[in-house]
Amino acid sequence: MEHLRIAALHDISGFGRGSMTTAISVCAASGIQCCPLVGAVLSAHTAYPNVTIRDLTEDLASCVDSWQAIGCRFDGFYSGYMSDIRQAEQMLALYETCANPSAPLIVDPVMGDNGKAYAGAFGPEFAGKMADYCGRAHVITPNLTEAAMLLGLAPDAWREDSIFLENCLEQLLELGCGAVVLTGVRDGAGNIGAVYQTRQGQKGSVFRPRVGAYFPGTGDLFTSVLTAALLRTGQDRLDWAVGTAVDFVQRCILQTHNADTPPLEGVLLEEALPELWKTLNRKHKK
């Protein structure tokens, strides 16, 4: 098996599965080393009340310098939640100096969900700069709320009809990224999943029956699995990577729903990770 390594920029939230803790565990279960670039440390994700937050934006440049001096090389770059949009500049600096040939930059433009921006800095200025950053990415994975924000609309301005989705995919590709994967899309027949389109015109969708519950952190889980699957199978297999990510998230949601644990704690991914290893190692070509 090829030894693959990614750099991942997220916060660490101590309680409530998501962001960096999800990225590290999904990568490990996929046989990929995840090197954390920690943008902020929180006591818990921000859907909990009274969380503490330590922003580490000012520390990132010296961390990037240090990795450059060591001569670190990465096969992929993955960023999620940023407590300050200036963190994107550090990710790009790392990408420009430490990428192995054809290493993808995968950006989950974490800003909100369910028609609302998350607590924090996620106003129109943040969204505009996030859109510029997304233009540099190979793959972006906004949910519909984030897609609206990236296009300069209000967080609740999305619709679920096919015209809106098609326009959204086209306009997000115009930002300059290589592929757009819209997450959390419903098909009007009780299913939920993802629709995607690439610059080369490859299009598709993957839907699975929706479990009627909301768990924070499923977007982080989706993009972590997508990143791992793309690295394992090669970037020309976006269709397979999207299917793998939708299936894995759905499986975790179903298990968690059946276990009846507090939704804010996120999905029970730990029990499902051995299955991810099997799926990726059955399929991977590298």
- Residues of this chain that interact with ligand PXL (CB under 6 A) are 11, 13, 18-19, 42, 45-47, 81, 110, 118, 216-217, 219-220
Shortest Cβ 182–ligand PXL spacing (Å): 16
Identity of the residue, 72 or 121, whose beta carbon is nearer to ligand PXL in the bound complex? 121
| Residue 84 to residues 39, 52, 121, 251, Cα–Cα distance (Å) | 8, 16, 7, 33
Shortest Cβ 16–ligand PXL spacing (Å): 8
122: Cβ contacts below 8 Å, ≥ 6 apart: 111, 112, 149
Shortest Cβ 251–ligand PXL spacing (Å): 18
Burial class (CB in 10 A: 0-12, 13-18, 19+), 247: middle
| Residue 190 to residues 63, 109, 197, 263, 264, Cα–Cα distance (Å) | 45, 26, 23, 20, 23
Shortest Cβ 6–ligand PXL spacing (Å): 18
Identity of the residue, 137 or 267, whose beta carbon is nearer to ligand PXL in the bound complex? 267
Identity of the residue, 178 or 216, whose beta carbon is nearer to ligand PXL in the bound complex? 216
Question: Which tokens go with 214?
Answer: 């909301």
Q: What are phi and psi of 200, to 5 degrees?
A: -80, 0
> Which residue has tokens 């029970």?
268
Identity of the residue, 103 or 252, whose beta carbon is nearer to ligand PXL in the bound complex? 252
Shortest Cβ 281–ligand PXL spacing (Å): 27
3-state SS string over 98-144? HECCCCCEEECCCCEECCEECCCCCCHHHHHHHHHHHCCCCEECCEH
Identity of the residue, 1 or 119, whose beta carbon is nearer to ligand PXL in the bound complex? 119
> What is the CB neighbour count within 10 angstroms for residue 234?
15
How many residues comprise the chain? 286
Shortest Cβ 46–ligand PXL spacing (Å): 3
Shortest Cβ 2–ligand PXL spacing (Å): 29
Question: Which tokens go with 179?
Answer: 């592929």
Identity of the residue, 97 or 114, whose beta carbon is nearer to ligand PXL in the bound complex? 114
Identity of the residue, 15 or 240, whose beta carbon is nearer to ligand PXL in the bound complex? 15
